[in-house]
Structures are given as structure tokens and as C-alpha cells.
Amino acid sequence: MADQMTKAQLVAALAEATGSDKKSASATLDALAGIITEKVSAGGAVTLPGVGKIYCRSREARQVRNPATGEMIHKDADKVVKITVAKALKESVNG
């Protein structure tokens, strides 16, 4: 797997890029995560320009297989968080 960035590293990079201190960068990052969580859990979507769109999608009830036993079991309807990656990000990664 490629080099992963921890929260501390992300906060430091954000502080350096914006010319602020780490404390305010951390507060900004936490506020952003809170806003995204609030909007997506309420059924909305959040678009981060140049990154992608984060949204919630409903899944119907279905039959799934237990990989350990091979037994088919019923799984209730639920919701999943999805991310559609922005075209600009895809292009920068691929090329």
C-alpha cells in the first residue's frame, strides 16, 4: 500500500499550507468531519471540489452467504456511505 498520511501529518500539512498553527488546523479538520457526518447521516450529500462527492445510499434487504460456514442468512435493509471520486483526482492519479 502507498504511503498513508496520519491525522497528525494531515493537520501539520494543512497548517503549513494555510499558514496557520496546528491547533486551528486541527479544529478546522474536526469541524469539516463533523459537518460531513451531519449532512450525510441526514441523507444529504457533500461535494468536496477536486476530491469527490460523499453521500448515503440505501440497500434493500437481501440474502448473503456466511463465508465461514457457507450458510445463506438474511441481512436487513441498511444504508452505506459512498464516495464518488472527482474526475480531476482520477486524472491526476492516472496521469
Instruction: Kindly state the cell numbers that stand for 17.
Output: 499550507
Q: What is the pLDDT of residue 95?
A: 80
Instruction: Kindly state the cell numbers that stand for 64.
Output: 448473503
Q: What is the pLDDT of residue 3?
A: 87
Q: What is the pLDDT of residue 73?
A: 94
Q: How does DSSP classify residue 77?
A: -
The ranges assigned to domains in the chain are 1-42, 44-95
Q: What is the pLDDT along the chain (95 residues), one digit of tens a residue?
A: 568 999 999 999 999 999 999 999 999 999 999 999 999 999 999 999 999 999 999 999 999 999 999 999 999 999 999 999 999 999 999 98
CATH architecture of structural domain 44-95: Irregular (4.10)
Decide if 36 contacts 29 (C-beta within 8 A): no
This prediction has a pTM of: 0.78
> Count of CB atoms within 10 A of residue 51's CB?
13
Q: Which H or E element spans position 57?
A: strand 52-59
Nearest to 91 by CA among 51, 56, 60: 51
